Amino acid sequence: MVKRSTKPVTRSKKSTLDRAKDLSTNLRWSWHPRSKRLFESLDPAIWEATGHNPILTIEQLAPTRKEVLESDPVVAAELKACEEELTAYLKSDSWWKRLADKQPKAKRMKVAYFCMEYGLHEHLPLYSGGLGVLAGDHLKSASDLGIPLTAIGMLWRKGYYRQELTNDGEVRILYPEYDFNTLPVIDTGKQIEVEIGTRTVHAKIWKLQVGRVPLYLLDTDFEANKPADRQLTHHLYGGDNEFRIRQEVLLGVGGLKALDELGIKPTVFHLNEGHAAFCQLELLTRAVEKGTSFEKAVEKVRSNSVFTTHTPVPAGNDRFDVKLFSKYMKSYAQRLGVKPAEVLALGREDVSNTEESFCMTVLALKLAERCNGVAKLHGATAREMWTGVYGVKNPDEVPIGHITNGIHPETWIADECRPFYDKYLKPKWVGAGPENDWWAKAKSAPDAELWGLRHRMRQKLIAGLRHHLRAQLIRHGADQDQINALYDTLHESALTIGFARRFATYKRAPLIFKDAKRLAKIMNDADRPVQIIFSGKAHPRDAEGNAFVRTVYEMTKQKPFRGRVWFLENYDMSIGRLLTSGCDVWLNNPIRPMEASGTSGMKPPLNGGVNFSILDGWWPEGYNGKNGWAIGREQPETTRPKQDKVDAESIYSLLETEIVPEFYNRDSADVPTKWVKRMRESMMSVCAEFSSHRMVADYVNTSYLPAHG
């Protein structure tokens, strides 16, 4: 394994391409347009083929191309500018510095942030979906704001699965193997040992730099470990419950040991979901071993722990039966000097029920003083879910608050939107804080400019779709007529609706097809065509979710929808950016209140898109009646079939009476003035309020600083 040096090297001794590799090892490039353009310019075809991987792009350059680049003064000048802009960013004044200067005690705050997955960029296989992308955006905003935060995670050798569909819609699960030498990770040279059951597991510690924030990643796939232990960092969310508990011991306990090995002493521990909750159990045990009573140790661990719960879906909260938990965690009773039942009680809602399984969410709730859901509605749902943990009947007495999720604007603003931003919104990203709202200036942008922006983004989307779908059709053995249809049926001027997310059943991806005949009539109006783009993955073991994928895929082949409805395989961050920036309308129709947050809908407004959603997750806070559309009613129906019927009817009615007419009713300059007004309102009301800068600042003010204090 190549070990890349982190020491600065004199520039004159380094070639241009070696310096470009060095630049890529700080992921700030992934939200810095100039750096992205530089890497793409090295060879656009290779850049695309490698999944936008800078190191792999450089390594695959032809020798003659390398010679040209090494002597190209334009490349040299751009690289120098990117290096200088990175240096300036890292040294710049920050929101945190301004805040900490007023609070001397705050300067000693150090946050350790634990998460099983991180969605930072499509070429890094460290994420599966929304939880990971949220964690990635959290790190990026922590960097921009200057928060003293260190992140802990896992370096997945095979990551989450790649999705391919057979011709009949069955999902193929493919696991590629990644070479860490082609990823911007640095071997720290440090290792830890973790007791997992009866075995000692060794883990390397790798470092991934995200702007100002270091992310340390654990890796067990090397010769010091037995084959079964090497596999612990192969697949994200792979294997059975026993495999999961072993992974969670590695993340929680191993993550804490990694911090020890690195000499990092956090004052605040933030667990993003319950996967890392064994960290708190280890902290509790260490306090007892130092002479603190069990009760005082619980109080101490709770006081500096922050826990974010992300799902109201029972299956999303990991549970382990008593036998399995005892197999791997029985030593904690001995170390704590208590009976095994007392350790099990830390993960049980009903401590008197000796048959109840051990729940990681319950452990995290009991050992964190500051707990939150990820939207206002989700906070209320979580309080109702977890009354048993706190021994109360009234949800209002449950100490779970909410910090509504946000998204990292610079990651999700399409580069093609930047000229519009520079001309009308005039953002100053470096040094910005949560109080900065560039989007309020959209009020002064002319209708024609906003509409032009939307049209350009749709054009880019259609070009990108043709590229992806052509390759997809060829894999499926399509003939030339089917491939040519991409250019006949996908329209750059048609109203385009996007639906892309995890295909969990509660998200109801096929709902819009409930009355296929009515939908076909809406979509096939020759004067007012509508097209819908789907993408998304279910968990590999979620048979019902994958059946939904098959259902949607089958609808793309039905005659009324052929060429109007498309399913894009292998949903990732790249496809996410393409769809959220290019679609006019973002559709979301979960069963309320099952959507904890649903951050994908926060992204389209950055690029002039609008939301069309059930009032679930973040949308009850975001919807103001003028910036999108609300599907159905807040009051739930008595049965699932009734709920589906009411919500589908609302979708069709709004499409027929408001959405389609607004999009196609134009003034003399061919501008849909009512639609543009809604676009503007969407941009002004959503973008600042639902940015991860606001979210991270909320964590600082309501959780991190109090926990530190």
- The per-residue pLDDT for 298 is 96
How open is the CA angle 112-114-116, to the nearest 5 degrees?
160
Does a structural domain hold residue 19?
yes
DSSP, residue by residue, 166-212: -TT-PEEEE-----GGGTT-EEEEEEEEEEETTEEEEEEEEEEEETT
Considering the chain, what is the average pLDDT of its residues?
Answer: 95
Q: Helices (DSSP H) in 490-625: which residue ranges?
A: 516-523, 543-557, 573-582, 619-622
Is beta strand 319-320 parallel, antiparallel or unpaired with respect to 358-359?
antiparallel
CB-based burial of residue 705 (10 Å sphere; 0-12 exposed, 13-18 middle, 19+ buried)? middle
Query: Of 24, 274, 31, nearest to 144 (Cα)?
Result: 31
Same domain, 118 and 78: no
- What's the whole-number mean pLDDT along residues 294-320? 93
Please write the tens of the pLDDT for every residue from 435-476: 999 999 999 999 999 999 999 999 999 999 999 999 999 988
Same domain, 446 and 383: no
The last residue of a domain, from among 38, 56, 91: 91
Strand ranges in 374-488 using DSSP code E only, listed in sequence order = 400-402
Does a structural domain hold residue 226?
no
Question: What pTM value is reported for the model?
Answer: 0.96
Same domain, 309 and 454: no
Report how far residue 439's alpha carbon sits from residue 426's, in angstroms, rounded to the nearest whole number.
9
Which residues, 6 or more positions from 698, have their beta carbon under 8 angstroms from its beta carbon? 403, 404, 434
Residue range of the domain that includes 308 = 99-153+242-405+697-708
Cβ(327)–Cβ(370) below 8 Å? no
Does a structural domain hold residue 163?
no
- What's the whole-number mean pLDDT along residues 675-699? 98
Which residues, 6 or more positions from 30, have their beta carbon under 8 angstroms from its beta carbon? 36, 120, 121, 411
- Tell me: pLDDT of 3 over 70: no
Same domain, 82 and 106: no
Q: Helices (DSSP H) in 490-618: which residue ranges?
A: 516-523, 543-557, 573-582
Does a structural domain hold residue 361?
yes
Same domain, 553 and 419: yes
Report how far residue 621's alpha carbon sits from residue 601's, in angstroms, rounded to the nearest whole number.
12
Token representation of residue 182: 């082609």
Token representation of residue 452: 């032009």
Same domain, 399 and 414: no
Please write the tens of the pLDDT for every residue from 9-41: 444 589 999 999 999 999 999 999 999 999 999
Is the preceding omega at residue 104 within 30 degrees of 0, hence cis? no
Report how far residue 611's alpha carbon sits from residue 619's, in angstroms, rounded to the nearest whole number.
9
Same domain, 444 and 498: yes
Cβ(605)–Cβ(686) below 8 Å? yes
- Tell me: pLDDT of 705 over 50: yes
Cβ(562)–Cβ(520) below 8 Å? no
Please write the tens of the pLDDT for every residue from 181-197: 999 999 999 999 999 99
The domain tally of the chain equals 3
> For residue 418, which amino acid is it?
R
Does a structural domain hold residue 251?
yes
Same domain, 486 and 368: no
- The per-residue pLDDT for 434 is 97
- What's the whole-number mean pLDDT along residues 609-636? 96
3-state secondary structure of 218: strand
Report how far residue 395's alpha carbon sits from residue 386's, in angstroms, rounded to the nearest whole number.
8
- Tell me: pLDDT of 6 over 90: no
- Tell me: pLDDT of 1 over 60: no
Query: Of 283, 305, 252, nearest to 116 (Cα)?
Result: 252
Same domain, 56 and 103: no
- What's the whole-number mean pLDDT along residues 511-526? 97
- The per-residue pLDDT for 492 is 95
Please write the tens of the pLDDT for every residue from 502-513: 999 999 999 999
Report how far residue 213's alpha carbon sits from residue 207's, in angstroms, rounded to the nearest whole number.
10
Does a structural domain hold residue 231?
no
Confidence of residue 8 (pLDDT cuts 50, 70, 90): very low
- What's the whole-number mean pLDDT along residues 610-616? 98
Confidence of residue 315 (pLDDT cuts 50, 70, 90): confident
Same domain, 366 and 446: no
485: number of Cβ within 10 Å: 15
Rounded to the nearest 10 degrees, the angle between the axes of helix 278-289 and helix 255-262 is 60
Please write the tens of the pLDDT for every residue from 141-173: 999 999 999 999 999 999 888 888 888 888 888
* H or E segment and range at residue 532: strand 530-535
Same domain, 387 and 413: no
Please write the tens of the pLDDT for every residue from 201-236: 999 999 999 999 999 999 999 999 999 999 999 999
Greater confidence (334 vs 314) lies with 334
Please write the tens of the pLDDT for every residue from 331-380: 999 999 999 999 999 999 999 999 999 999 999 999 999 999 999 999 99
Does a structural domain hold residue 325?
yes
CATH of the domain at 279: 3.40.50.2000
% of the chain exceeding 70 in pLDDT: 98
- The per-residue pLDDT for 170 is 86
Token representation of residue 133: 């992308």
Q: Which residue has the tokens 């729940």?
A: 359
Same domain, 270 and 351: yes
Q: What is the DSSP letter of 562?
A: B
Total residues belonging to the chain: 709
Q: Which residue has the tokens 């929101």?
A: 95
Q: What is the dihedral of CA 670, 673, 675, 676, to 10 degrees?
A: 100
Does a structural domain hold residue 217?
no
Please write the tens of the pLDDT for every residue from 106-129: 999 999 999 999 999 999 999 998
